[in-house]
Amino acid sequence: MKSEEQLPFASVLDTLFTKDPLPIHLLYRLSDMTAEELAMFRAAWTAVPTPRRRIIIRHLADLTEDNYVVDFVPIFRDCLRDPDDQVRVAALDGVWDVTDTRLISPIIQLMQSDPADDVRVAAAGALGHFVMMVEWGQLPERFAPPMVTALLAEYEKVDTAVLIRRAALEALGAASHPRIADLIDAAYESGDEGLQISAVFAMGASADKRWLVTVLGEMDSPDPEMRAEAARASGHLGSSDAVTHLERLIADDDIEVQLAAIEALGRIGGDAAHNLLLRLAEEEEDGELLDAIDEALEELSLFAGEFKFLEYDEEEEEEGNP
């Protein structure tokens, strides 16, 4: 029997598109396809039944989230035009961390005019990640204005569905635009529970500590969805003042709140968060929570290493060393 690497690409496609159960390991052969392989994929993909296309594209999006080495972007780009809305949503999920700016225009169009609301929500979320990459300096600033303009227009349309407005507000949170803070304030004071949760999300995305008091207060909300969002927002704000509040949420009755609190500790970092996570790792017995604690400790260590590297770099400059 031929190994996975030796299997002809046509056989890989036939197996992926027809055999049950889906051979997940062969999906990796769709990464970094040559021009000839991509042409073969496109020719065969249109004949794949919709349920199978949904399964494959969702797995590709999940693999992209877990593995930064794979590259399925050409497939995701094509699938933004797929006739099935679930395939389009999965393709949008797959491009969240992609820096290919050619995707921005078609994603804006999907947010503005796709017939399926869930696709428009996913498109707004994908734009939010592109906006954030601009703010982090990973993309040139010239790409932000068209996205921010489109998101603002969608948010302010009177007939825009609430879920799409929420996604647009969340996407705008990281944008450097003079109107964003007022929009967040208005949404938080709107009385609409969904918009309030999205406003807290946007507070975290803004990385602006003016929102810290509000975020900490919402950790006592009776709504577990709000408590979880407040925990995540505190992680993005990065203040050590949140650590004691997050310690309380780790004992929350809702596991999503617990997971959000653990994730936030990993983002905040520092000795207090590190020691708390270490203690939790020794005491916790729940497997899902233990996995989250391990991931948080790994992220905390990664950021600590980057910070030490930056400190060393600055010391080198101050001493005049090359």
The answer to whether the beta carbons of residues 262 and 284 sit under 8 Å apart is: no
The answer, yes or no, to whether residue 305 has pLDDT greater than 80, is: no
Q: What's the pLDDT at 185?
A: 96
Report the first-to-last Cα separation within the chain, whole angstroms.
56
Q: Within 13 Å of residue 83, how many CA atoms lie on the same side as its CB?
A: 7
Q: pLDDT tens digits, residue range 275-286?
A: 999 999 999 888
Domains of the chain with bracketed CATH: 209-317 (1.25.10.10)
The answer, yes or no, to whether residue 312 has pLDDT greater than 60, is: no
The answer, yes or no, to whether residue 297 has pLDDT greater than 60, is: yes
Q: pLDDT tens digits, residue range 132-164?
A: 999 999 999 999 999 999 999 999 999 999 999
Collapsing DSSP states into helix, strand and coil, what is residue 294? helix
Average pLDDT, the chain: 92
Kindly give the residue spans of alpha helices, DSSP state H, lying in the chain: 9-18, 35-45, 50-66, 73-79, 85-94, 104-113, 117-135, 144-156, 162-172, 180-188, 193-206, 212-218, 224-237, 243-249, 255-268, 270-283, 287-318
